[in-house]
Amino acid sequence: MEQDKEKAILKEPDISYGGYTYAEYLTWNMEEMVELIKGKVFKKAAAAPKRIHQKAAASLGTKLFNFLEGHICEVYFAPFDVRLPVKSKKDDKVNTVVQPDICVVCDPEKLDDRGCIGAPDLVVEIMSLGNKQLELQYKYEVYEESGVKEYWLLDPDALTSLVYNLVNGKYQPSKLMTTGDIVKSMVIKGFKLDLEEFFGDLS
């Protein structure tokens, strides 16, 4: 009986079900990467991200890492679990676990051996054709609700960037930026990204 129960727990989750928790997420043995948003499973693409996606994440992540050297804030890269609790931090109560392409955490108490529990200060997502709804709708909502102070969306294909800053609990968008613009972080003071240089280096 116990063996049957274990098999049931480890089976692939039902993507139409919306009541999963982090405790169940920990039991899944799946080849592809998944994220859990308000109890619902979102599968990452089975294939590895495009080269340009990987290069963009590595380039920006390196810039942030070098800028923050010696600083209390730390940079982390996917795969890295970010749990976003609503009321309780208990595993069986948390129903949102995401893996941002890049995140910066400035509160060491939010970090543990399993990742981050609570909102990072800065989240960066690299957009591609397969993930735009996930980043623009579902993740936008949970990042805003959980208190992520700054949310960057970079689109290497369109050569654009959009930044959302949290003001009184609601995201305020920047203008849509492109080559020739410089993105300045309000959270990581002094950090800026020259989009012409950044996108130019990705070719």
- In the chain the domains, ranked by start, together with CATH numbers, are 2-43 (no CATH), 51-200 (3.90.1570.10)
Read off φ and ψ for residue 181, nearest 5 degrees: -95, 155
**Model confidence at 1: pLDDT above 50:** no
pLDDT in tens, 95-133: 999 999 999 999 999 999 999 999 999 999 998 766 566
Lowest mean pLDDT of 11-15, 105-109, 138-142, 155-159, name the range: 11-15
The number of beta carbons lying within 10 Å of the beta carbon of residue 81 is 20
pLDDT in tens, 25-65: 999 887 778 899 999 998 775 445 678 888 999 999 999 99
Give the integer Cα–Cα distance in Å for 153 and 134. Answer: 12
